[in-house]
Structure 1
């Protein structure tokens, strides 16, 4: 069966003290994603009797009021036709790892047993799932305890988030952002769970506490029959899910006709089929059997010499941001941009690469779109769980047009002509030097110096990333593999810009 790919951030944590921001969060999700499993965060740092700050639950009366508010809000959003699921983060005693618990309906209550096995028992007769995250931290200290894993209750896990990658302990996407919880270990990583015989899928999800759906913190893709809650839940419990670290790489992966997350009988001549559509140039495709890369299929070097002429399809990323140094200009926290894109050809798709509130895409036609963007030179909220110190915002545009044509970009009233041949050749950087010259003159009467740092380091910039043709971001693979020698097969896709996609495995049933 052909499924739709639906996207979401499956780890958005909103805290008690800011729960009234839920409508703003939902609005952001509805702009960027197809559905939303929301995970309420009922914890805070309180002062112990000793004076030490320790994390614990808020008073039960307070978080019950929040839960009732979330229930009413979720009912409202569902009534408007948007699939939202209620959920909360469960941490227990920290000995089994952190899990986000989600419910199919909006009738359940939050429970707080100290151990994972008791959590499973509490919800054994309920349509509920508990999804572990940041698994590769130390066991007993908020890392995953594979000895208590229940594959029915936890049908998939977070392989990547803002914390980094929990896939293994020797991969390149390290878990060093939240240094107080690290370092990661190999004992609790995702691969150890499969090696213990567990059958679960994988997603990526943000662990976002300042804004949902932060670009680069991970997204979850679900293969669903439709966007109804029933069909999305069916995809959940059957592990038809996968994860991406940043860009929305589309995967269609089957083995002997079954989709990822499913099981299939062993076969010496199993037929693997894979169709990939990336957002940037694909670097390589890895076929992984029992956590061993058994084949690495290069895509780099397969398309670069293909002649491009006439009408072509291509993608490029627009980034807006950078700007004045906050140490020098502490009052300049953000900037609002207004722009539009126009093509003489056809605007095929637009991918939103957003990390903060204040973004909008509107008036989209077959040949143009308008947008409003807000960029920050600091985290959006100042929270330690927020995005990095400098965030850019933008889009990935897919266009079909003649290679000798051009794209018109208008930003804050200034028109920029982007010749398609030029942006296919290399990236372009547009510094707003006139603006910063006026700023430096007005604030410091500073007009000349023997080097350009004061202007360059403080100016806003527009980056047109190098465009890539369709041959670069699409690839199909059909091959036979012997599944009698392994228990599961999955694929991992790497783009040249570092973005990754992890499929859920297809599991092999032995005779």
Structure 2
């Protein structure tokens, strides 16, 4: 794919308050390459005490849409950050399932169609796509009815988001987050759509408000010919797209030399090829054919013994945790601030990837071989672990003796690649925890009599195990794949040891 460029984006972040949501785009353009400024034209209504979400057009929608289009105009910057106007379709979602309308231009309108067939008809011939999402719920109960589908207007679907994965009914990431819409069932899944003959590519996106492209909630990847709306639309129509849960897993997938999204003829047997570059140690590659895993390649155990002899590594930094209100702290902060830097001794800092979950993060490469970062992790008020950490992944050129010199919140420490190849490094800000407890409660270790409060309420830093290039990069060929009669589809599911996943769009092969 030398003629293509890989872009990262999110087509499903809600902008419910366009008068104040611009700060999400300020952070979004530092996080991803393209973003749908997605309207959510619904409101909650009280019907005799029952809370009901509105459907259909409302008088306030035209002004709301005008403000969204203005946000699109202000932030659109071809070659740097693409903005696309869009909205969640507010027609009969119960019957047809949920869909987002995305315009690959500066204009467009809120379509009032109640039936999906009418929406397709109204948008035909234009520069809009209709993208089904959380399809794995039951059809006629907010899941996707694949009998009503237009391959040209809906060339891709959202396979993963905060809801979980709609890939299949017995595939990774069950749809358990939204207990009102659940459970996940077979009929609405991606695999069910493919089994009906739908030509579906895949993306992932967040589905909710906040930072566009939030790590862990889904990101879309597209191999484009040019960094523009036109280039992005061409890639989506060609289904040259794929989905990741969060980490920027670079994925190339071909069958008989044809790129993901293509359709090719085949003989009795074919060959599939995968190239994957992860942000962490790769676990396995699974080749899915017609709803079943046709071949698996396990990468774990194939690279560890030679790790110390390599010259390129990835090391993840994670910061967060800290005091909890349930232990009596009077927390007035919303975020913990982390200001820091990294300097590489005896090597070179070659790359930087983010794992951001909140707006307001900043990390840059600064010559020669340094990084500066300002991160913010969420203060913990309840038992939910959501967004309490932020992360970065550094790509290092060097060897086992290469030193990583960190200065984070005034705490300076060094970790060598050789040490990190053996395991993680834990750095607690224990002195800060002691000082906070002394200041807020007037207590020291002797008067407390138990060291747990210092440990439980300490901000912490984690350096993950260093992974050499042979651990996060792999190329694999799957040969002599037997075709079923008629139309076959193949797609790749790739996973890392840290639980992050990627799904390619399929390649279709017809056996005569």
Deviation at 1:158, TM superposition (A): 0.9
Equivalent position SS for 1:37: strand
Of 437, 442, 458 in structure 1, the residue corresponding to residue 439 of structure 2 is 442
Equivalent position SS for 1:179: coil
Distance 2:11 2:482 in 1: 32
Matched, 1:314 2:313: yes
Distance 1:176 1:295 in 2: 28
Deviation at 1:235, TM superposition (A): 0.4
- 1:163-242 aligned within 5 A: 163-242=163-242
Contact 1:164 1:174 in 2 (8 A): yes
More divergent stretch after superposition (38-47 vs 67-76): 67-76
Distance 1:261 1:365 in 2: 39
The aligned residue for residue 390 of structure 2 is 393
Q: Can you list the C-alpha shifts for 1:200-245, whole angstroms capped at 9, x where unaligned?
A: 1011111131332211001110011121111110001111100011
The aligned residue for residue 32 of structure 2 is 33
Deviation at 1:67, TM superposition (A): 1.3
Contact 1:267 1:482 in 2 (8 A): no
Distance 1:181 1:422 in 2: 47
Equivalent position SS for 1:475: strand
Distance 2:374 2:56 in 1: 38
Distance 1:390 1:459 in 2: 17
The aligned residue for residue 407 of structure 1 is 404
More divergent stretch after superposition (178-187 vs 323-332): 323-332
Equivalent position SS for 2:43: strand
Matched, 1:288 2:273: no
Distance 1:308 1:389 in 2: 35
Deviation at 1:389, TM superposition (A): 3.6
Contact 1:35 1:227 in 2 (8 A): no
The aligned residue for residue 340 of structure 1 is 341
The aligned residue for residue 375 of structure 1 is 377
Contact 1:266 1:483 in 2 (8 A): no
Equivalent position SS for 2:470: helix
Q: 1:453 to 1:180 in 2, by over 3 A?
A: farther
Contact 1:44 1:58 in 2 (8 A): no
Distance 1:363 1:192 in 2: 44
Show structure 1 runs of 4+ deviating over 6 A: none
The aligned residue for residue 148 of structure 1 is 148
Q: Can you list the C-alpha shifts for 1:267-296, whole angstroms capped at 9, x where unaligned?
A: 334232211100111111111111110111
Distance 2:202 2:460 in 1: 37
Deviation at 1:252, TM superposition (A): 1.3
Deviation at 1:72, TM superposition (A): 2.6
Distance 2:364 2:286 in 1: 38
Contact 1:347 1:365 in 2 (8 A): no
Q: 1:400 to 1:79 in 2, by over 3 A?
A: closer
Deviation at 1:466, TM superposition (A): 1.0
Equivalent position SS for 2:12: coil
Q: 1:163 to 1:51 in 2, by over 3 A?
A: same
Gaps of 5+ in 2: none
**Residue-pair matches, total:** 501
Q: Can you list the C-alpha shifts for 1:315-372, whole angstroms capped at 9, x where unaligned?
A: 0110111011122224243211110111131211111110111211235335011111
Equivalent position SS for 2:11: coil
Contact 2:210 2:359 in 1 (8 A): no
Distance 1:307 1:69 in 2: 53
Deviation at 1:307, TM superposition (A): 5.2
Distance 2:210 2:72 in 1: 20
Contact 2:249 2:276 in 1 (8 A): yes
Of 359, 364, 367 in structure 1, the residue corresponding to residue 366 of structure 2 is 364
The aligned residue for residue 138 of structure 1 is 138
CA-based RMSD: 1.9
Length-normalised TM-score, structure 2: 0.94
Distance 1:358 1:174 in 2: 30
Distance 2:315 2:179 in 1: 34
Q: 1:481 to 1:92 in 2, by over 3 A?
A: farther
Contact 1:350 1:398 in 2 (8 A): yes
Q: 1:324 to 1:54 in 2, by over 3 A?
A: same
Distance 2:368 2:162 in 1: 35
The aligned residue for residue 89 of structure 1 is 88
Matched, 1:494 2:492: no
Gaps of 5+ in 1: none
Contact 1:337 1:411 in 2 (8 A): yes
Deviation at 1:84, TM superposition (A): 1.3
More divergent stretch after superposition (112-121 vs 420-429): 112-121
Distance 2:59 2:385 in 1: 34
Deviation at 1:29, TM superposition (A): 1.5
Q: Can you list the C-alpha shifts for 1:169-213, whole angstroms capped at 9, x where unaligned?
A: 212311111212212112211111111111110111111313322
Q: 1:33 to 1:480 in 2, by over 3 A?
A: same
